[in-house]
């Protein structure tokens, strides 16, 4: 019952702060307008300030990635069509950001990335609890670890912590241990929590890689209780 109550509490608090997200989109749109204000006529084509454009592009790509993920059309379109430091490319980016803002205002983002994620991964913990009752510690460990990792990503989105590293025109997702360290650096939770998260992720990795003798059922039971508490506490 205690775990179920924590899950309900987590579902209520994990929803992304729409007002904060809309504010950030407005900031990015304003950045795009500032880029357009630098428009100048080049030798063969119209240009905008290179530094201002890539500052705008990098910030917007990072934001869209954190909200929608690598495979969403918004991220793919922005990455592919907002490349050149030109008025047309910048206008495309600003237009896409207006579309993103509209989705947030209408609640679609909350449904897609907030509530559904909370429901799915909350269900994972409940499934893990049932599996443990049936003495299936290994799949339970994988499910708990998956819920934990998604929670860490949700915390990144809510606290403006980057989920990826951009190198040139390629974007690489951060590994869970790097995300864990970055959340501590941003004061989202403590170094003590960081050590616990590292331990829980270690059990998940052992289970996922078939190293079933590296941990026991009691440790997975503790992991379930501790992860549930951690998710409920840090979601506030």
CA dist 211 to 22, 141, 220, Å?
A: 45, 12, 14
Measured distance CA(233)–CA(236) in Å, rounded = 6
Supply the DSSP string of 95-108, one letter for each residue.
HHHHHHHHHHHTTH
pTM: 0.53
Measured distance CA(168)–CA(170) in Å, rounded = 6
Structure tokens at 130: 């049932």
Torsions phi, psi for 130 (to 5 deg): -65, -40
Provide the pLDDT for residue 12.
45
CATH fold of the domain at 2-14+111-234:
1.20.120
Measured distance CA(17)–CA(15) in Å, rounded = 6
pLDDT tens by residue, the chain, 236 residues = 344 444 444 444 434 457 778 888 999 999 999 999 999 987 788 889 999 999 999 999 988 887 777 777 888 889 889 989 999 999 999 999 999 888 877 766 544 444 434 444 556 788 888 888 889 999 999 989 988 988 898 888 888 888 887 777 677 888 899 999 999 999 999 999 999 999 999 999 999 899 999 999 999 999 999 998 898 888 75
| Residue recorded with tokens 């690489």 | 172
CA dist 171 to 20, 76, 168, 181, 215, Å?
A: 24, 11, 8, 19, 35
Provide the pLDDT for residue 13.
40
| Residue recorded with tokens 């039971």 | 221
Structure tokens at 52: 């201002």
H or E element, residue 41: strand 40-41
Structure tokens at 78: 């922005």
Q: Where are the beta strands (DSSP E) in 152-226?
A: 164-167, 170-173
Provide the pLDDT for residue 197.
96
| Residue recorded with tokens 């959340």 | 183
Q: Where are the domains of the chain?
A: 2-14+111-234, 18-105
Nearest of 65, 97, 77 to residue 166 by alpha carbon: 65
């Amino acid at each position: 019952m205690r775990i179920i109550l924590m899950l309900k509490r987590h579902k209520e608090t994990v929803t992304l702060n729409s007002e904060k997200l809309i504010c950030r989109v407005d900031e990015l749109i304003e950045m795009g307008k500032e880029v357009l204000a630098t428009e100048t006529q080049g030798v063969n084509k119209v240009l905008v300030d290179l530094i201002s454009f890539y500052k705008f592009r990098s910030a917007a790509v990072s934001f869209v990635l954190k909200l929608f993920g690598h495979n969403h059309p918004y991220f793919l379109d922005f990455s592919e069509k907002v490349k050149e430091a030109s008025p047309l490319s910048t206008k495309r980016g600003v237009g896409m950001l207006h579309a993103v803002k509209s989705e947030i205002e209408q609640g679609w983002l909350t449904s897609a990335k907030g509530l559904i994620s909370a429901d799915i991964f909350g269900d994972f913990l409940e499934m893990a609890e049932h599996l443990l009752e049936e003495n299936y510690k290994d799949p339970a460990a994988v499910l708990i670890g998956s819920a934990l990792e998604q929670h860490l990503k949700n915390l990144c989105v809510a606290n403006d912590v980057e989920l990826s590293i951009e190198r040139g025109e390629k974007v690489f997702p951060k590994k869970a241990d790097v995300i864990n360290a970055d959340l501590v650096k941003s004061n989202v939770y403590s170094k003590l929590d960081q050590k616990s998260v590292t331990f829980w992720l270690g059990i998940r990795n052992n289970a996922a890689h078939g190293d079933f003798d590296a941990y026991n059922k009691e440790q997975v039971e503790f992991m379930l209780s501790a992860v549930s508490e951690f998710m409920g506490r840090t979601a506030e």
